[in-house]
Amino acid sequence: MRTPGGWWRHKTTPEKVETYTRWSFHFFAVMEFFSVGLTSVAPLGLRLGSAAMLVVAVHAGLCFVTVSRAIDWTRGRRPQPTGLLWTLAAVTAAIAAAALGLAEHGPDREGVDTAAGGVFGVILIFGPGIIALGVRSRRRAFGIAGGFAAGTWAVTSALGAPALTALFTALIVLIGSVFIAFTAVFSVWLLNAVYELDEARETRARLAVAEERLRFGRDLHDVMGRNLAVIALKSELAVQLAQRGRPEAVTQMVEVQRLAQESQREVREVVRGYREADLGSELAGAQGVLAAAGIDCTVGGATAAGLPAPVQSALAWVVREAATNVLRHGDARSCAVRLQVLEGRVVLSVENDGLSEAGPEPGSGGSGSGLAGLRERLAEIDGTLAAGPVGQGLFRLTAEIPLPPRSGPTGAVPAAVAVRAVSEVTP
């Protein structure tokens, strides 16, 4: 069951910016209806005012649809709504002309000129601004606003308005429509920039993975290339010697066997070094990765120096998984990692404000991945893992591992951990 506001928290940052942009311009249409549509009923009378309110509602609805189609077009989800933009421009001009006609030839009642002037001004300001969302060129967007302002001056002058009044009216329309057009142009630019930055971050992550795969491939090539070449040559030599009935073929095959065993050992060393997790390195790496993603990460408490190797390795995997979950499952702004060495035990806690594990725990459905895999890894050295919300949108992951007696061994990782580390290298 989703918590209130869960639909917002589960959106990515670009999706949040798009939603904010979309509804900001939708609000302009709503504001247009409530500011001049409803308020025109009283001064114009029930019949004429209802007609004016209906006309403004049609224009507001047309703006509402145009905003959605234009933003979808800027994101490449649909073709440019050219017909809709021309329709909105024509309806805007027609309503503005009708408002001027109402002010000149309408009922001679108090408030009629004010209501008609309000409809005229708001329609001519919001209309060109919304149209600017659907054009690519900035010059064209501001040109549309200038065109409506010029049309305003021409129509008001033709209706016999004083030159100063016509110029002042056109100037108001120009300033208002240019402001809304600038807001539209800037919002589209910001939305595209956010999406491009998000794509660049994903590309950087993919390149980092590809670079690591290339490094691992180079290591395997350096280790196995020479040995495999020698094995191939000695196997070919042994075949030729065996075909001639020479006893040296056995010596060559013994050498092939020795090289194969040596290659196995070297591959295990490469894999073990590739999968080995160091707590200090993982803490620094998590802090760097989260900072690159715009998440303020602090690391405090005790240092990893002096902890037994099995404990460091297990806690390093906890840090790696926790950092991955903060990036993948939530929208955190800050993350705090704290390491405490208490009497007979060590406690690592990772807390973030993104509630990244809301709902079922990611990775708990299968063994060897996610939190379930961490619990298995910690259980091998009698450790425990707790994870869950702690209130106020915070999520905390806590790992606790008992420390072995000081006289006990603090050497290599247990055999089961090493075996699984080797097996997990297979993609």
CA distance 121 to 117: 6
For 3-12, 108-117, 417-426, which range has the lowest pLDDT when averaged over its residues?
Answer: 417-426
Q: What is the pLDDT of residues 13-72, one digit of tens each?
A: 888 899 999 999 999 888 888 888 888 777 777 888 888 889 889 999 999 999 999 999
- Please give the pLDDT value at position 357: 43
User: Among the listed ranges 95-99, 291-295, 370-374, 417-421, which one has the minimum average pLDDT value?
Assistant: 417-421
- Residue linked to tokens 């040596």: 262
Report DSSP state, residue 381. Answer: T
Global pTM exceeds 0.75 = no
Please compute the mean of the pLDDT values over residues 225-231 and round it to a whole number.
Answer: 74
Q: Is 277 helix (H, G, I), strand (E, B) or coil?
A: coil
Measured CA to CA, the distance from residue 395 to residue 386 in angstroms comes to: 11
CA distance 424 to 427: 7
3-state secondary structure of 364: coil
| Rounded CA separation 54/48 (Å) | 10
